[in-house]
Amino acid sequence: MADLCIFDPSIEWQVQPDELKSQGKHTPFAGYPMQGRARHTLVAGRVVHG
């Protein structure tokens, strides 16, 4: 099985530290506008994000 990430380059969003999956919520990108976002991630055939 292949690992796969489905990425949508058209999504615009802002980094919100409280929404990060990481336990570390400190980021220099807080509030920055971003272009593109992972929609789904599959590992060993299972959806682990999205």
Residue-wise pLDDT for 5-48, tens only, equals 999 999 999 999 988 877 888 889 999 999 999 999 999 889 98
Q: How many domains does the chain have?
A: 1
Confirm whether 28 is domain-assigned: no
Six-digit token pair at 40?
Answer: 């789904």
Question: What is the Cα gyration radius of the chain?
Answer: 13
Confirm whether 23 is domain-assigned: no
pTM of the model: 0.65
Domain hosting residue 42, numbered range: 1-14+33-50
2 vs 50 pLDDT, higher one:
50
pLDDT confidence of residue 1: 60
Q: Cα separation of 33 and 31, whole Å?
A: 6
Give me the residues paired with residue 35 across strands. Answer: 12
Confirm whether 40 is domain-assigned: yes
Confirm whether 20 is domain-assigned: no
pLDDT confidence of residue 15: 92
